[in-house]
């Protein structure tokens, strides 16, 4: 049982790479099915957010990293491996626990990632089983502990709030400004809340599903518009924040340029916090238009989260505890099939040897033959008892997987094609 992670994140790749690797929820099962079909992986989950695309695997008989990179490279249109990383075994566990807890986020301590980890697990349930189910459940519990037992998320910033801070750098204050939000999802709503909290006077919500725009606008005292009609209002707004789930740019120079004359010298701040990006980068070349995307948030984010870094040692110690707890559980899980197969192999050897012996002792009465059979079973159970106890004990103290691998090797349990007689016959 080998845990493997292949991934790309904001720490290793820029937004152009990340947006091409991002998966919509309906695309995830297909990618997982392809990777598993090409590797025989036993379990898989794909986590895709604006800042990362990661494939978690429990490998079968073959290394799954090449197939995972092939799937990502096909989506990227070139080799994806230079932009990413591979984690194995305990480091997979530690990595996911840090991700779910917001320690590996662009904004340290941000809370939205916890829900995204939960969603990834739910989408991948058809491709996961005991090991990954327990891993993702544990990650969510760890994230809850980090947030409740440390101050790492206290007053936590989000991508939305960081974007609003960028807008304030343009205008000094958002008091009395007008804003338009494209999108009606969770991130878009968080952004609208931030805008209103910072004094935006008039807000417009535009979405392809008008009913969702109406619902969100009603909750925050904004007005709703049909998506196709919102462009006529661009001349009136100071800030446009974009957070749709579109697979391609939905805001182009052709949408913005016609409104610039009516704006006079008023700047337009466009905050694109979607991935893939909602706004064509060429929009940023238009006069008096200030365009920011996710990567532009980095410098601002570094300054806003410094005070939370003091909580990192406590959070890391908590994560270390939970990594050991999960690893002990996983080792215990791995011992069950090994013990079962080990006992089956030994019983097979015992049975064949007893049959051979009794063929040479045909003169024995049935009672004596049964005595020999009983003696062979009792002797095998005594031989098996101590190794079984010690293997279970090793699983409980964190050394189980290493010893499991040793048992597999010593008794050829890793080779399913091995004849059950080969080990005995070679010794004769």
DSSP 335-384: HHHHHHHHHHHHHHHHHHHHHHHHHHTTTS-HHHHHHHHHHHHHHHHHHH
Q: pLDDT, tens digit, for every residue of 385-407?
A: 888 777 777 765 555 566 777 77
* Residues 243, 163 within the same domain: yes
Whether 155 has a pLDDT exceeding 60, the answer reads: no
Please identify, among 113, 129, 155, the residue that sits at the C-terminal boundary of a domain.
Answer: 155
Contacts 24+ apart (CB under 8 A), 387-394: 387/342, 388/339, 388/343, 391/335, 391/338, 391/339, 392/332, 392/335, 392/339, 394/331, 394/335
Calpha distance 90→4 (Å, rounded): 9
- The pLDDT confidence band at residue 360, using thresholds 50, 70 and 90, is confident
User: What's the confidence (pLDDT) of residue 302?
Assistant: 64
Domain membership flag for residue 280: yes
* Residues 218, 230 within the same domain: yes
Please identify, among 96, 125, 155, the residue that sits at the C-terminal boundary of a domain.
Answer: 155
Listed residue (103, 97, 130, 128) closest to 28, CA to CA:
128
Q: pLDDT, tens digit, for every residue of 3-60?
A: 999 999 999 999 999 999 999 999 999 999 999 988 888 899 999 998 999 999 998 7
Calpha distance 261→259 (Å, rounded): 6
Domain membership flag for residue 39: yes
Task: Taking residues 120-145, report their average pLDDT.
Answer: 93
Listed residue (277, 178, 183) closest to 225, CA to CA:
183
* Residues 192, 246 within the same domain: yes
* Residues 11, 88 within the same domain: yes
* Residues 144, 170 within the same domain: no
> At 48, which helix (H) or strand (E)?
strand 43-49
* Residues 128, 194 within the same domain: no
User: What's the confidence (pLDDT) of residue 309?
Assistant: 81
Q: Could you give the residue ranges of the DSSP H alpha helices within 125-209?
A: 130-149, 159-171, 186-197
Calpha distance 294→271 (Å, rounded): 9
User: What's the confidence (pLDDT) of residue 176?
Assistant: 92
Q: Are 72 and 66 a contacting pair, CB within 8 Å?
A: no
- The pLDDT confidence band at residue 420, using thresholds 50, 70 and 90, is very low
- CATH number, domain at 260? 3.40.50.720
Provide the domain count of the chain: 3
Q: Is the alpha carbon torsion for 243, 157, 104, 119 positive or negative? A: negative
* Residues 146, 181 within the same domain: no
Please identify, among 155, 187, 210, the residue that sits at the C-terminal boundary of a domain.
Answer: 155
* Residues 170, 241 within the same domain: yes
Calpha distance 222→213 (Å, rounded): 10
* Residues 123, 175 within the same domain: no
Quick one: how many helices (H) and strands (E) in the chain?
15, 10
Domain membership flag for residue 319: no
Domain membership flag for residue 45: yes
* Residues 80, 124 within the same domain: yes
The gap between the terminal CA atoms of the chain, to the nearest Å, is: 33
Domain membership flag for residue 311: no
User: What's the confidence (pLDDT) of residue 288?
Assistant: 93
- CATH number, domain at 99? 3.30.460.30
* Residues 276, 179 within the same domain: yes
Whether 241 has a pLDDT exceeding 70, the answer reads: yes
Domain membership flag for residue 118: yes
Whether 427 has a pLDDT exceeding 70, the answer reads: no
Domain extent for 130: 2-155
Active site residues: 50
């Amino acid at each position: 049982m080998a845990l493997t992670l292949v991934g790309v994140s904001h720490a290793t790749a820029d937004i152009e790479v990340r947006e091409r690797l991002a998966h919509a929820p309906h695309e995830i099962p297909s990618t997982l099915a392809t990777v598993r079909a090409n590797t025989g992986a036993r379990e898989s989950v794909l986590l895709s957010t604006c800042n990362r695309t990661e494939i978690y695997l429990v490998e079968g008989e073959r290394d799954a990293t090449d197939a995972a990179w092939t799937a990502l490279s096909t989506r990227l249109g070139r080799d994806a491996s230079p932009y990413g990383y591979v984690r194995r075994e305990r480091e997979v566990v530690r990595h996911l626990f840090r991700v779910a807890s917001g320690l590996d986020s662009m904004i340290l301590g941000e809370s939205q990632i916890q829900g995204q980890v939960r969603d990834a697990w739910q989408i991948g349930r058809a491709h996961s089983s005991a090991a990954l189910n327990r891993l993702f459940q544990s990650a969510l519990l760890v994230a809850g502990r980090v947030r409740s037992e440390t101050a790492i998320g206290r007053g936590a910033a989000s991508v939305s709030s960081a974007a609003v801070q960028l807008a304030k750098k343009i205008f000094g204050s958002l008091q009395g400004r007008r804003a338009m939000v494209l999108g009606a999802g969770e991130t878009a709503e968080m952004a609208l809340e931030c805008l209103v909290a910072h004094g935006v006077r008039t807000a417009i919500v535009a979405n392809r599903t008008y009913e969702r725009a109406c619902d969100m606008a009603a909750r925050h005292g904004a007005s709703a518009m049909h998506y196709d009609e919102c462009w006529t209002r661009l001349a009136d707004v100071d800030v446009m924040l974009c957070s749709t789930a579109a697979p391609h740019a939905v805001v182009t120079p052709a949408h913005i340029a016609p409104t610039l004359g009516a704006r006079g010298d008023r700047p337009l701040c466009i905050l694109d916090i979607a991935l893939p990006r909602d706004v064509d980068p060429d929009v940023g070349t238009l006069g008096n238009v200030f365009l920011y995307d996710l990567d532009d948030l980095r410098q601002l984010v570094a300054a806003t989260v410094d005070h939370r870094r003091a909580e990192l040692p406590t959070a890391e110690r908590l994560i270390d505890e939970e990594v050991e707890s999960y690893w002990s559980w996983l080792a215990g899980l791995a011992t069950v099939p090994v013990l079962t197969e080990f006992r089956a192999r030994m019983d097979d050897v015992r049975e064949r040897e007893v049959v051979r012996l009794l063929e040479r002792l045909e003169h024995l009465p049935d009672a004596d033959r049964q005595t020999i059979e009983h003696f062979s079973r009792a002797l095998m159970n005594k031989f098996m008892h101590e190794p079984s106890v010690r293997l279970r004990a090793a699983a409980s103290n964190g050394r189980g997987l290493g010893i499991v691998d040793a048992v597999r090797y010593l008794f050829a349990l890793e080779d399913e094609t091995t004849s059950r007689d080969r080990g005995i016959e070679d010794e004769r």
